[in-house]
């Protein structure tokens, strides 16, 4: 796994323009849609039970984000996930705020139990919580974990049978056999609401064009991290950074990705 592979997948996303079906939260829904477009994919934000089967049927990937959770959305997520499983469409779960409330944690457990999930992508606190490690999650933000992030991801992925992607200052991706560290990114990405949700969108787009889940996740996180690094160069604060993040993703080239990716396989 190297920058050339990440660049190849980035080119493939832009060539195929996969439809990324989101059932996501209303705080970042527009940012996720725009990030999908800037990355080269096509977004749809649909959560009505009445159209789940039809919408999933034309998608390349399904992204389930529990950021603003309620029972209606959970029902739509289960229905969409089951249809995606029938059609062999990858399902990405973002366990936003897992560990902050029992409702969120139990909902993620239900999604993992009832659906064939391809990727579980969350921050350190969320992933550690789901893996049974001690973690502190306040609202939707991670405030520290006990234990080694690499070991947590490796062991949890192996036991769960799902590729796990943990976002942190150094991202960790593991499918239980291979583990990657992704060192791309910038601290400003933590100062803007929604970058975690946008990461799930990009992870979804890459998994729509590749069946190698670990490689797709590592590539996606490297690409978004590179865009963040470029955006930070001219940003004067969180809001200018947010705008430049979209511009940087839109203008990112495969060569930028090949030369700028900092992915290490353990």
Residue 216, pLDDT > 50, answer yes
By residue count, the chain amounts to: 266
Q: List pLDDT tens digits, range 249-264.
A: 999 999 999 999 999 9
231 and 244 Cβ atoms separated by less than 8 Å? yes
* Per-chain mean pLDDT for the chain: 93
Q: What is the largest CA-CA distance in the chain?
A: 47
* Helix ranges restricted to H, the chain: 3-16, 29-39, 52-57, 71-86, 102-114, 124-131, 149-160, 195-209, 213-234, 238-251, 254-260
C-alpha 139 chain-centroid distance:
18
Question: What does the block give as tokens for 202?
Answer: 């990009």
pLDDT band at 145 (very low <50, low <70, confident <90, very high): low
Report the pLDDT averaged over residues 198-223: 98
Distance CA(97)–CA(130), nearest Å, equals 11
Calculated CA dihedral for residues 195, 216, 110, 35, nearest 10 degrees: 30
Residues pairing with 130 in the sheet: none
pLDDT band at 238 (very low <50, low <70, confident <90, very high): very high
Would you kindly state where each structural domain of the chain is located, as residue ranges?
3-265
- For domain 3-265, give the fold: 3.40.1190
- Annotate 199-250 with DSSP letters as a single string: HHHHHHHHHHH-S-HHHHHHHHHHHHHHHHHHHHHH--SHHHHHHHHHHHHH
Q: List pLDDT tens digits, range 150-209.
A: 999 999 999 999 999 999 999 999 999 999 999 999 999 999 999 999 999 999 999 999
């Amino acid at each position: 796994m190297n920058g050339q592979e990440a660049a190849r997948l980035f080119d493939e996303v832009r060539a195929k323009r996969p439809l990324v079906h989101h059932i996501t939260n209303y705080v970042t829904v527009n940012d996720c849609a725009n990030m999908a477009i800037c990355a080269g994919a096509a977004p749809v934000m649909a959560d009505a039970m009445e159209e789940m089967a039809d919408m999933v049927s034309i998608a390349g990937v399904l992204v389930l984000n529990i950021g603003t959770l309620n029972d209606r959305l959970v029902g739509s997520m289960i229905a969409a996930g089951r249809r995606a499983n029938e059609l062999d469409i990858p399902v990405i779960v973002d366990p936003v705020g897992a560990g902050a409330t029992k409702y969120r944690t139990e909902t993620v457990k239900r999604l993992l139990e009832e659906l064939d999930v391809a990727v579980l992508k969350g921050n350190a606190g969320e992933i550690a919580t789901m893996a049974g490690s001690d973690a502190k999650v306040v609202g939707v933000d991670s405030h520290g974990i006990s234990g080694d992030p690499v070991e947590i991801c490796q062991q949890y992925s192996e036991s769960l049978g799902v590729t796990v992607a943990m976002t942190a200052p150094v991202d960790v991706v593991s499918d239980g056999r291979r583990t990657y560290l992704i060192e791309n990114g910038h601290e400003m990405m933590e100062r803007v609401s929604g970058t975690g949700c946008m990461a799930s969108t990009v992870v979804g787009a890459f998994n729509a064009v590749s069946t190698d889940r670990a490689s797709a996740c590592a590539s996606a996180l490297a690409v978004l991290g590179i865009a963040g690094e470029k955006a930070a160069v001219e940003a004067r604060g969180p809001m200018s950074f947010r705008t430049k993040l979209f511009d940087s993703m839109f203008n990112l080239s495969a060569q930028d990705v090949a030369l700028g990716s900092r992915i290490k396989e353990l």
